Amino acid sequence: MDTNGVDILSPDTIDNFALARERMAQELTRNGVTSVRVLNAMKKVPRHLFVSEALRYSAYNDVSLPIGFSQTISRPTTVGRMIQSLGLTGRERVLEVGTGSGYQAAVTAELADRVVSMERIEALHRRAKVTLLMTMNYRNIELYHTGAFSDIKGTFDAILVAACAPVMPEHLISLLNNGGRMLIPVEKGNSQVIKKFVRHDEEIVYEEEVGEAQFVPLVM
Ligand code: SAH
C-alpha cells in the first residue's frame, strides 16, 4: 500500500479478475453496450484497482461504488453507454469533467488518442494520478486539479461530463470542436438523464438521450 491508499498489485493479481470482467462484459452487452471496441476496453481495464480494497470484490458488479469524499465511480453500464455513444475511433482528443477514481478516463484512453481529465477534489486527483499514471502507466492521459472549465486549454472532439449539471455549462460548449460531441447528465423530474449534444458551427444541437443515471452534482 502506498501513501495515497492505492495498493500496487502484481499482474498476476490483476489477472485473477479476468473472469469477473468477462461476466461484466456479458451483462454490459445485455444492457445495450454492443460495440466490440468498447467491450474490449472494458474487459481490459482493471476496475478493482480504482476502488478501495474493501470493495474490490464488488468491482465487477454493475453498480456504482463509493470512492470517498461523497463521490462515486459510475456503474459500468453507464460508463459503457456513454463512451459507446461518442463513437470513438482512436483519433480523438477527449475532455472528461470529473476524474473521480480515474476509471472512466482509463476506458476512454483505450479508445481515443488523448484524454484530458479535470477533478476539483485534490485528494481524488492525486489518487487518480497514482493509479493511472504510476501504476498503470497511461501515457495519453493528462490530469488537472481544477474545478474551473476556463483552466482547460485547447479544444476537444468529445466531452464527457461525469457529474449532473444544474444548467448547461456554456464555457464547455466553447471547448468543443466543430462536429464535436458532448455527453452531459441533466436533471429530469426526480431523476437524471444523460443527453448528447453535437456542435455544428456556432450551434449546439441536441441529438438524443443516452439513458438514465444517478450522478453526483457538477459543481459550477
Ligand atoms: N468518472 C469518475 C466518476 C466521477 S464522479 C470515475 O470513473 O470514477 C464525479 C466527479 O466529478 C467527482 O469526483 C467530483 O468531485 C467531480 N466534479 C464535480 N464538479 C466538478 C467540476 N466543476 N470540475 C471538476 N470536477 C468536478
pLDDT tens by residue, 121-179? 999 999 999 999 999 999 999 999 999 999 999 999 999 999 999 988 999 999 999 99
Verify whether ligand 1 is closer than 6 Å to residue 41 (CB atom). no
Cell representation of residue 168: 448547461
Domain count, the chain: 1
* Cα separation, 109 vs 78, whole angstroms: 17
Atom of ligand 1 nearest to the CA of 67: 8
> Which residues have a Cβ under 8 Å from the Cβ of 126 and sit 6 or more positions away?
4, 145
Q: Under a CB-based contact definition with an 8 Å cutoff, are residues 68 and 124 in contact?
A: yes
Question: Would you say the CB of residue 108 lies under 6 angstroms from ligand 1?
Answer: no
pLDDT number for residue 4: 54
Asked if residue 152 has its Cβ within 6 Å of ligand 1, the reply is: no
pTM of the complete model: 0.93
88 found inside a domain: yes
| pLDDT of res. 15 | 62
Report how far residue 173's alpha carbon sits from residue 168's, in angstroms, rounded to the nearest whole number. 9
Q: Which candidate, 131, 95, 88, 101, places its Cα nearest to that of 115?
A: 95
Residue 2 resides in a domain: no
Confidence of residue 47 (pLDDT cuts 50, 70, 90): very high
Domain assignment present for 70: yes
The answer to whether position 6 is within a domain reads no
Q: Is residue 1 part of a domain?
A: no
What is the C-alpha to C-alpha distance for residues 45 and 108, in angstroms, rounded to an integer? 10
Residue 181's domain comprises: 11-213
Determine the distance separating the centroid of ligand 1 and the alpha carbon of 12, expressed in angstroms: 31
Q: Which atom of ligand 1 is least distant from the CA of 98? A: 11
Q: What mean pLDDT, rounded, does the chain reach?
A: 93
Tell me, using a 6 A CB cutoff, whether residue 68 lines ligand 1.
Answer: no
Q: Are 98 and 118 in contact (CB under 8 A)?
A: yes
Q: CB under 8 Å, gap of 24 or more: what pairs does 29-33 form? A: 31/62, 31/77, 31/80, 31/81, 32/77, 32/81, 32/211, 33/77, 33/80, 33/81, 33/84
Examine residue 220 and state whether it is found in any structural domain, yes or no. no
Task: Identify the band that residue 1 occupies on the pLDDT scale cut at 50, 70 and 90.
Answer: very low
Arithmetic mean of pLDDT, 195-204? 94
> Measuring from atom 17 of ligand 1, which residue has the nearest CA?
98
Residue type, 200: H
**97 alpha carbon – ligand 1 mean position (Å):** 6
Domain at 147, CATH number: 3.40.50.150
Between the CA of 163 and the centroid of ligand 1 the distance, in Å, is: 6
The residue with greater pLDDT, 213 or 33, is 33
The verdict on whether 101 is a catalytic residue reads: no
Q: How many whole angstroms from 162 Cα to the centroid of ligand 1?
A: 6
Whether residue 184 lies inside any domain: the answer is: yes
Residue with CA nearest ligand 1 atom 16: 98
| Surface-to-core class of residue 75, CB atoms within 10 Å of its CB (0-12 exposed, 13-18 middle, 19+ buried) | middle
Catalytic one among 74, 85, 101, 117?
A: 74
Which atom of ligand 1 lies at the shortest distance from residue 100's CA?
13
State which of 104, 218, 220 you would mutate to test the pocket of ligand 1, scoring each by most atoms of that ligand within 8 A of its C-beta.
Answer: 218
C-alpha atoms less than 13 angstroms from C-alpha of 164 in its C-beta half-sphere:
18
Share of the chain above pLDDT 70, in %: 93
Q: Residue 130 falls within a domain, yes or no?
A: yes
- Report the pLDDT value the prediction gives residue 2, as an integer from 0 to 100: 45
Q: What is the pLDDT of residue 50?
A: 97
